[in-house]
Amino acid sequence: MSRFKNIILQIHNLSGTFLSLMFVIWFLSGFVLIFAGFPHASKEERFMHLSFLTKSDFDSIQAPSEDFSGKIELEKMNGNPVYRVYSGRKSQKVYSAISLIRCENTTEKEAVNLAEDFTGAKLKSVEKIEELDQWIPWSYYRALLPIYKCYLNDEDRTRIYISEKTGSIIQETTIKTRWAARLGAIPHWIYFKSLRLQKGLWVKVVAWISFFGILVSISGLIAGFIRLKKRKKSSKWTECSPYKKFWYKWHHITGFLFGFFVFTFILSGFFSVVDIPKSLVPVHAKVSAVKVWNQKTDVKQHAATSLSHLWNAVEGKKPIRKVVWKTVMNQACFWVYRDHYQLPDVYVAGTDGAFAKSNYSKKEISSWCKSVFADTGYDVKELNEFDAYYQKSGMWKRPLPVWQLTLHDADHTSMYIHPKTGEVIKSYNSNDRSRRWLYRSLHTLDFPFLKQHEWLRKLLLLFLSLGGTAVSISGLVLGLKWIKRKTKKSLPVRTKLVKMKFND
């Protein structure tokens, strides 16, 4: 037993010494992340800055080409109607909606005008970058290069990034959001540009650091129990630790009190970049249920409706900012966005024009389910409040009520379907649920009750993070002391020369 204790203590001493600084960085940056994440250009603001589409636009434009493949959006760019055809996460091609000819690259003058209009500030300087920088450190943004980086002359020191290829704003940062990211998201997620752009390497680095962090926390929990001492009834509660020296004692006590939280935090951080092994929680479906339900746009189905008929159908009191061509449940649809960037008016294409679509009914959901998931049992119910899996989101408006479709398949698939658009908003299988609890719940206290009381969730996060910081800082001090001792022992012993007097 004594040998086992020594092994555990040695493992904790060694691994903790080398990772204690990373633990301190994680917890300190975590305080910032509770309130501010990585900067991004607001989708809502970008949408609200789109120019309105008018009748003259609809009179002059052509229907999308049948060669267009992917998501098709009609909006205005530089005062002219254009089609944006998306073929990947960020990859897109822009065509003139009048001639269907590929649009030329955005000029520097056009980019400057867009940046000034978006921010309401005058330009200070502009540069064209050929490589991604610290504020767009995602490899899939390479498809948008080159990019105009516009420096605005305002109090916030705003910087706007505009793709030369697409003419769209892809990032916005201010001095406040940049510093928040430097102190929070970047060190916490190890979001350093040179590393983050190599996604495979970045995932491996985060996963391995987290793995060794799990080793540190588990060995620390065991060591804490091993070193726990029975105390007398009359003694102080701090006497449960056998250590007398300040840093040893408080590292033991704080580790004993907050060690389990440190472990769950590191474990959930590991699962933020690593999927749950399918050998543990199998996924039987070869194609995800979302891909089966949400169809790719078939622009040929929309040919029966002329653009003049579409205008007659969509013209209303509120002006139009964007129109999206969609295929939903084998029906050609137009999603018309007016004053809300996530909530369109839906119109179904027909030979006699387009007509407004009411919310999708339970009967329609069931009918499409039988069509695409033949021979699979299911349940459909209307969900009127958020549950453990369908929750509020900071970035996306989640509607209520919503249709919850549960399949009786091997993966126990559950989908939440937008009643307005008929498309899946969120989907879970058994593997997804496991990752949801192991990552989001443990890492951010994303539990249903706490999500309904955001102030309490953040308060608990702050309290537990304070405990984790105390454990980490005391561990860092002990680690530095350990290195200092080892360094001294490894230095060669200096011999003193002693002068000796001899009597003749």
Helix, strand, coil shares, percent, the chain, to 5: 45, 20, 40
Q: What is the pLDDT of residue 11?
A: 85
Residue 325 CA, chain-centre distance (Å), reads: 27
Residue 434 has pLDDT above 70, yes or no: yes
Whether 52 shows a pLDDT value over 80: the answer reads yes
Per-residue pLDDT of 64-104, as tens digits, reads 998 888 899 999 999 999 999 998 777 899 999 999 999 99
Asked if the model's pLDDT at residue 330 lies above 60, the reply is yes
| Predicted local distance difference test score (pLDDT) of residue 494 | 55
- pLDDT grade for 6, boundaries at 50, 70 and 90: confident
Give the pLDDT of residue 502.
Answer: 47
pLDDT of the residue at 238 = 61
Decide the pairing of beta strands 147-152 and 123-129.
antiparallel
Residue indicated by tokens 């020369």: 497
- Is a pLDDT exceeding 60 seen at residue 498? no
CA end-to-end span of the chain: 64
| pLDDT tier at 50, thresholds 50, 70, 90 | very high
Least confident of 205-209, 300-304, 494-498: 494-498
pLDDT at position 396:
72
Q: Please tell me the distance from the alpha carbon of residue 306 to that of residue 354, in angstroms, as a whole number.
A: 9
> Which of 297-301, 424-428, 492-496 has the largest mean confidence?
424-428
- What was the pLDDT predicted at 397? 79
Strand-strand pairing, 71-77 and 322-328: antiparallel
Given a cut of 70, is residue 57 above it in pLDDT? yes
Tens digits of residue pLDDT in 364-413:
999 999 999 998 999 999 999 999 999 887 767 788 999 999 999 999 99
Instruction: Using the predicted structure, report yes or no on whether residue 267 has a pLDDT greater than 70.
Output: yes
In whole numbers, what is the pLDDT of the chain averaged over residues? Answer: 90
Residue 131, exposed/middle/buried by CB under 10 A (0-12, 13-18, 19+)?
A: exposed
Backbone angles phi, psi at 162, to 5 degrees: -130, 125
Question: For the chain, what are the domain ranges?
Answer: 1-38+178-283+442-504, 363-428
pLDDT of residue 504: 43
Amino acid code (one letter) for 197: L
Residue 495 is encoded by which pair of tokens?
Answer: 């011999």
Asked whether the predicted pLDDT for residue 229 surpasses 80, the reply is no
Model confidence band, residue 16 (pLDDT cutoffs 50, 70, 90): confident
Q: Which amino acid is at 316?
A: G
SS3 503: coil
Indicate the burial class of 386 (C-beta count within 10 angstroms; 0-12, 13-18, 19 or more). Answer: middle
Query: What is the number of other CB atoms lying within 10 angstroms of the CB of residue 100?
Result: 15
Lowest mean pLDDT among 1-10, 50-59, 305-314, 396-405: 1-10
Tokens of 199: 């996604």
Q: How many residues does the chain have?
A: 504
- Spatial contact of 275 and 207, defined as CB atoms under 8 Å apart: no
Q: Which of 64, 139, 16, 76 is nearest to 321 (CA)?
A: 76
Question: What single-letter amino acid sits at 281?
Answer: V
Q: Residue 338: how many CB atoms within 10 A of its CB?
A: 17
Categorize the per-residue pLDDT at 256 as very low, low, confident or very high, splitting at 50, 70 and 90: confident
Locate 383 and state its tokens. 């969900």
- Give the count of beta carbons closer than 10 Å to the beta carbon of residue 236: 8
pLDDT of residue 232: 53
Name, in order, each residue with C-beta under 8 angstroms of 72's C-beta and a sequence gap of 6 or more.
64, 83, 84, 85, 86, 297, 299, 324, 325
Q: What is the mean pLDDT of residues 447-454?
A: 89
Model-level pTM greater than 0.85? Answer: yes
Q: How many CB atoms lie within 10 A of CB 6?
A: 11
State what percent of residues in the chain have pLDDT above 70: 94
Q: Which H or E element spans position 82?
A: strand 80-86
Task: Answer yes or no: is pLDDT of 180 > 70.
Answer: yes
Residue 322 pLDDT > 90, yes or no? yes
Asked if 87 contacts 93 with a C-beta cutoff of 8 angstroms, the reply is: yes
pLDDT for 344: 93
Note the pLDDT of residue 15: 86
Query: Helices 246-270 & 199-226, crossing angle to 10 degrees?
Result: 140
Q: What are phi and psi of 210, to 5 degrees?
A: -65, -40
Digit-coded pLDDT (tens) for 233-254: 555 656 677 778 888 888 988 9
CA trace torsion 180, 193, 201, 281 (10° rounding): 40
Cβ-proximal residues to 81 (8 Å cutoff; 6+ apart), any chain: 53, 57, 60, 61, 74, 75, 96, 97, 98
